Amino acid sequence: MPHILVRDLDSDIVERLKSRAKQHGRSLQGEVKAILEEATPMSVSEARAVSEKWQKYFKGRKFSDSAKLIRDDRER
């Protein structure tokens, strides 16, 4: 997996990132990764391709009625 190195960050930015990481229960690296993932969402065409892939994967499969399962569980 590729790595990114960011040089010469102000210490106050690093402290804010550490604070955010602590609030979210993540490591500093995990917090920075989450921020980058949030800042770079999939394009519409990429999301459509992923959706089509899953539609093909599940095509023809039958699934149980979740409302019925919940009802049955409540009646136990």
Tell me the per-residue pLDDT of 7-58, one tens digit each, with 9 for 90 and over. Answer: 999 999 999 999 999 999 999 999 999 999 999 999 999 999 999 999 999 9
The answer to whether residue 76 scores a pLDDT higher than 90 is: no
Q: Where are the domains of the chain?
A: 11-74
pLDDT at 1 over 90: no
DSSP assignment of the chain: -------S--HHHHHHHHHHHHHTT--HHHHHHHHHHHHSPPPHHHHHHHHHHHHHHHTT-----HHHHHHHHHT-
pTM given for the model: 0.61
pLDDT of residue 75: 87
pLDDT band at 74 (very low <50, low <70, confident <90, very high): very high
